[in-house]
Structure 1
Amino acid sequence: MRIKWYGHAAFLIETQGVRIILDPYRSPDSGGYEPVAEPADVVVVSHENDRYHSHLGQIVPPFHVIRALELPPEGEAFGGITFQAVPVFESPERLPGDEVTIILFRAEGLHVAFLGDLGHLLTDAELEPIRGADVVLIPAGGKPTLDLDDVPALLDAIGPKVVVPMHYKTPKINLNIRPIEEFLERLPDDPVVRVDGSEFSIDRDTLPDRRTVYRLEHAR
């Protein structure tokens, strides 16, 4: 499985011959990130936010679209991969209008959880399908998404081996969010792999023995 971070919350995951793009932003309206401008087989969006999370107009067509807010409980299959969603909220108050999702899928023997714009700790019922995920893509810029002080407890509850930060402050995003260093300060005992570039490959045989943060450079 190859994981590539474009910037903000946008990723390309290549697995089982399928190109999956998650939560594409709109350039330049989101700041300085360049357009994704690559092909996909399927684009999966965690919620509807055309500027930061669900813009389809800069991805090379054709591609299938999965809108996680519309998924049934059993999910939707594409290319032999079943995508499921856990309904959550961007705000800790769980206010109407703040509905977002966590996206889950399994491929190559790996369980991947994309936390999207999650803004609160999870109940036992919300945790159940996520617990034991091997790879977690997590917002790392603090409010309005997950409070940085809640990060350790959430990761402890999920139990991943690979943690990939996203949705944090860089010179190329126009949101008032926190830099990656403040996220890493909350995880002082976790090893950090500083990837020289925007992507890395992982499989069951190369999963680390303990929870490890993979820090990527944005590709765009």
Structure 2
Amino acid sequence: MQIIWYGHSCFLIKTSSGKRILLDPFKIDINSNASFPKCDLITLSHTHFNHSYINKNNTDTKIINTEGYFDMNFAKTYGINAYHDKLLGLKRGKNIIFILKIDNYTFCHLGDLGHIPDDTILDKLQGIDILFIPIGGKFTLDGYEASKLCELILPKYIIPMQYRTLDSSIPLDDLEKFIFSNKYINKINSSSLDTNILTSKYQSNIILMNICKLN
């Protein structure tokens, strides 16, 4: 199975059977013709433009943007209601946390989570293999809060997302707070991660990826 990071909170998961699952797609550039590939499933954590862009290749793709359980055969998906802020959604609205069971892996994509979840939600976030977590602050958890949440969830692997990079146009924090809170981090020189080599290659459970540039 392959994981590709397109930047921001957007990931593509390619299953062993060739299915494509796209998480929180965004408009790459208003003047760009670059677009995401045709996918079999898209999950949207919320409706803000930088998490819910559906390009022309995916106008008839199955989209999940609500809480609840969905079985697509190649992916079992569970959406959990949470919030984009610390005020129960009063400032920025709701945010769906998605748990996806794919190829014997359990993924969790936190979307634009803006608060530490309560125990009811945390109980549902146990047994996660790969956690996609926002760390850039401003609109979501910052690096310190993200580190605290990782300690509560204890996933096998952590992939930070939604933070300031060289190409960022959104005023987010960079990696500093998150790195300061975590001693062992793997920086891979790739925008693609093969899950088959996770246990053999990476001794630390935090993995920093490069951004894949769409043509």
If the length of structure 2 is used for normalisation, what is the TM-score? 0.88
Unpaired stretches in structure 1, ≥5 consecutive residues: none
Aligned residues between the structures: 211
Note if 1:8 corresponds to 2:8.
Answer: yes
Question: CA–CA distance in 1 between the matches of 2:157 and 2:34?
Answer: 27
**Aligned-pair CA distance for 1:91:** 0.5
Question: CA–CA distance in 1 between the matches of 2:157 and 2:200?
Answer: 7
In the superposition, relative to structure 1, how do residues 63 and 216 fare at CA in structure 2: closer, same or farther (>3 Å)?
Answer: farther
Q: SS of the residue aligned with 1:121?
A: coil
Picking from 71, 79, 82, the partner of 1:88 is 82
Note if 1:219 corresponds to 2:215.
Answer: no
Unpaired stretches in structure 2, ≥5 consecutive residues: none
Q: Deviations over 1:144-172 (max 9, x none)?
A: 10132212221111111111011011232
In the superposition, relative to structure 1, how do residues 105 and 37 fare at CA in structure 2: closer, same or farther (>3 Å)?
Answer: closer
In the superposition, relative to structure 1, how do residues 178 and 57 fare at CA in structure 2: closer, same or farther (>3 Å)?
Answer: same
Q: SS of the residue aligned with 1:212?
A: coil
Match of 2:160 in 1: 165
| Percent identity (aligned) | 25
- Give the aligned residue type for 1:2: Q
Match of 1:193 in 2: 186
If the length of structure 1 is used for normalisation, what is the TM-score? 0.86
Whether the 8 Å contact between 1:198 and 1:216 is mirrored in structure 2 is: yes
Q: SS of the residue aligned with 2:145?
A: helix
- Over the aligned positions, Cα root-mean-square deviation in angstroms equals 2.3
Q: SS of the residue aligned with 2:144?
A: helix
Question: CA–CA distance in 2 between the matches of 1:131 and 1:5?
Answer: 24
Question: CA–CA distance in 2 between the matches of 1:147 and 1:90?
Answer: 13
Question: CA–CA distance in 1 between the matches of 2:32 and 2:162?
Answer: 12
Question: CA–CA distance in 2 between the matches of 1:185 and 1:34?
Answer: 38
Match of 1:46 in 2: 45
